Structure 1
Amino acid sequence: MRVVICINTSWNIFNFRSGLIKGLLAKGYQVIAVAPQDEYSDSLVQMGCEFRPVQMHQTGSNPFRDFHLFLDLRRIYADVKPDIIYQYTVKPNIYGSLAARSLGIPVVNNVSGLGTVFLNRGLTSRIAKLLYKLAFQKADLVFFQNKDDKADFLTQIKLPHLRTDLLPGSGIDLQSFQSKSEISNKPFRFLMIARLILDKGVEEYLLAARNLKREYPEVVFQLLGQLDEKHARGVAKKYLQEFIDDDTIEYLGTSDSVKQLIDESTCVVLPSYREGTPKTLLEAAAMSRPIVTTDVPGCREVVEDGRNGYLCRVMDWRDLARKMQKMIELPPEELMKLGKNGRQYVASKFDEQLIINKYLEVTANILE
């Protein structure tokens, strides 16, 4: 039996779906990874996957270019002849579904967050929703990462017969993500990990940090993530530089040592406007680090307010600063208690093996 996994980058497949690939291979399935070629493509082959490259632009909605993506995916799927296709991210979900539908191949799509398509009301948003409706009509199953995303999707896109289920992202590898050191608040170190776009709450974090730095000059505020000025909502490098120059934050750029940075932090912050299931928060909780995040879909699924972190109001840097200050003033034993509670919570709900078992069950049912 042949299973295709199609995502917008090989990096994404390797970093978020390696556990699923290993589970499928262990059951005797052949796994074909379909994604743009990047430095992680060879790693997928070394894992045991067959790799098929496809050109895929991450942003924009050029109809001519996207029609070529549909044709490319249809050609690959027709050649590979998979028994089932798993698709993730917007363009594989839409154009991959249309391609698979034309070939009669079963499809399971994963909506990992509604993003700007559902937050906005412009022409591009309306076109995207129309394409979603057309593409998902014949999907065998669609996974959503939280009940709010599912409800909002089905409210805005009328698909009464769509088969859906909830699955909290890719889960977390509890063996890999374990703290190697106890929490230290000397100095107290906040860490935000996110792509630098406004919807992640980067501006709120910067403003909260600047405000707190006046009262707590010894506290360290770190920011890890890739600048993306080409993105419509990208943070301008010039704006970020202001906070670097006045010593408000330490900008870490990108790193392959995320686990180490989490382990060195006291608290992880993500003031995002909306998420599916934020991987960085799962990693932080698994590594026994308390969290400050927004009370929005996706984020609030990972944090029980007051038990393993604090929830703040969305788009409100002052409330974010209040919750971060509350965290600063906790004694070390309370910080450790929050961290321990977080580890227990994600182990009960987000263990990667639970997610892998669900995929294996769905795969077997559809193939039968």
Structure 2
Amino acid sequence: MSLDQKKISNKKIIRTAAVPGSLYGLLKGQLHFLNQYYEVIGIASEGSVLKQVEDREGIRTKGINIERSISPVKDLVSLYKLYKYFRKEKPVMVHSITPKAGLLSMTAAYLARVPVRVHTFTGLIFPTQTGFLKKLLLLFDKIICKFATNVYPEGNGVKNDLLQYKVTKKPLKVIANGNVNGKDLSYFNPLLFSEESLKVEKKNLGITEKDFVFIFIGRLVNDKGMNELVNAFCKLVEKNTDVKLILVGSHEGETDVLPESTWNKLNAEEQIIWVGKQDDIRPFLAISNALVFPSYREGFPNVVLEAGAMGLPAVVTDINGSNEIIEHGKNGYIVPSKNELLLLKAMTLFIEDKEMLSAMANNARTMITDRYEQNFVWQSILKEYQQILPKVD
């Protein structure tokens, strides 16, 4: 089915997320693609980003506030507004991503008698929690599955967790090879950057041609493995002077605050280059030799996909998503989570074994192309829609 094919159905589909940034970032281009076949409406909390989604994707949007945190009164208001909107629009399907949007959307869609109710689990929060909070979050996920007619884990790791914790007895299907949107390989392409532009970028950051450059992209919080990364890198510098670590990300607005000791080390180490949050991460990937991503938990990390698309091998932790994208020794290394010693060992090996690194770098982009090319993912989603929607004709 070609991308320029005319819309073949007047079926109305509503895609929901708690914040418009999820529709804007996670589903970039996909909503426009699906709108060629169905009438797509996007729902998320109000804001200028939601208008950007509408303009870019060419779809209708509706702003309904959905709090990301637990807020009983506001959540009931949101539930009622979603219910009323679903009753008004009468969609054939509501498809949610992100936890709170899933809980409220699936419940409201069930009450509004929407025929097909779909939720995609992009990651699970409860496995890393304890006590009452863990039980509550597990209950919420069970409610999502109870009211959904179709449940899709983003990857096999998420699927296994859903099975292990007996969240649902419904069939669980991973679409394509995982990841909700795939990667635009014409955009994440190292050939877009000339040697001259890379030299200028390196010079601006104080990176020499002799330096081996690691890069981390993500929030600067405990949960992303920042403590282990900073500690390991500081030890790495003691024996390897020609090495740099680029940190791309922000800590602002986060509750998972790094300890002062980690900030002190980070700020004191001259070989760490912190560039903050960036709209375009490609130039930083293009001047790097390897990604290092020691996160504690993920659903299906886009950063690892994007680094691979740019030809970078990666050191990742043995967690959901990361251990599906990376094949140990083939396009990167997998180390245990929260293990500073083995993280240091892997990073050292990347610097010292140039032949191994070159082989993994050669495999990196090909392995993303073969499994996560964007059009393949979009076509797989469309095919899945076509399989589950005719049941309500």
- TM-score computed with the length of structure 2 as normaliser: 0.86
Change (3 A) 1:10 1:236: farther
CA displacement, residues 257-301 of structure 1 (integer Å, 9 cap, x when unaligned): 211111111111111122221100000101111111112221111
**Distance in 2 (alpha carbons) for counterparts of 1:351 and 1:54:** 32
Cα deviation 1:208-248 (Å, max 9, x = unaligned): 111111112331111111215542x3325774254113325
**Change in 2 beyond 3 A, CA 1:363/1:306:** same
- The equivalent residue for 1:206 is 230
| Separation in 2, partners of 1:236, 1:252 | 20
The match for 2:186 among 175, 181, 190 is 175
Which residue in the other structure is 1:346 paired with?
Answer: 368
1:277-334, CA deviations, whole angstroms, 9 ceiling, x for partnerless residues? 1100000101111111112221111111111111112101111011011111133x65
| Structure 1 residues 229 and 22: CA distance shift in structure 2, 3 A | closer
Q: CA-to-partner distance for each residue in 1:99-140, whole Å, 9 max, x for gaps?
A: 10101112111111113x122231122122222222311312
Q: Structure 1: 5+ residue runs without aligned partners? A: none
Identity across the alignment (%)? 24
Hey, what does 1:11 align to over in structure 2? 21
Is the counterpart of residue 188 in structure 1 residue 212 in structure 2?
yes
Name the residue aligned to 2:291. 268
3-state SS, counterpart of residue 95 of structure 1: helix
Give the structure 2 partner of residue 226 of structure 1: 250
Consecutive unaligned residues of structure 2, counting only runs of 5 or more, are: 1-10, 199-207
1:73 paired to 2:73: no
**8 Å contact kept, 2:243–2:271:** no
Deviation at 1:173, TM superposition (A): 1.3
Distance 1:52 1:229 in 2: 26
> Which residue pairs with 2:171 in the alignment?
163
Question: Is residue 118 from structure 1 mapped to residue 127 from structure 2 by the alignment?
Answer: yes
Q: In 2 relative to 1, CA 77–226 (structure 1 residues): closer, same or farther, beyond 3 Å?
A: farther
Equivalent AA in structure 2 for residue 142 of structure 1? V
> 1:12–1:238: structure 2 CA closer, same or farther, 3 Å change rule?
farther
**CA 1:38–1:218 in structure 2 vs 1: closer, same or farther (change >3 Å)?**
farther
Contact 2:154 2:299 in 1 (8 A): yes
Change (3 A) 1:62 1:236: farther
Q: Distance in 1 between matches of 2:142 and 2:15?
A: 21
Q: How many residues align?
A: 362
1:298 aligns with 321
Q: 2 CA distance for matches of 1:25 and 1:122?
A: 43
Work out whether residues 14 and 40 of structure 1, in 8 Å CA contact, stay in contact via their aligned partners in 2: yes
1:24 aligns with 2:47: no
Task: Indicate the SS of the match to 1:165.
Answer: coil
Q: 2: CA distance between counterparts of 1:81 and 1:18?
A: 25
Out of 43, 47, 56, the residue aligned to residue 34 of structure 1 is 43
Please state if 1:330 is matched with 2:353: yes
- 1:99–1:289: structure 2 CA closer, same or farther, 3 Å change rule? same
Shift, 1:344, TM fit: 1.1
* AA of the residue aligned to 1:112: T
Q: Which runs of 4 or more aligned residues in structure 1 lie more than 6 Å from their structure 2 counterparts after TM superposition? A: 182-185
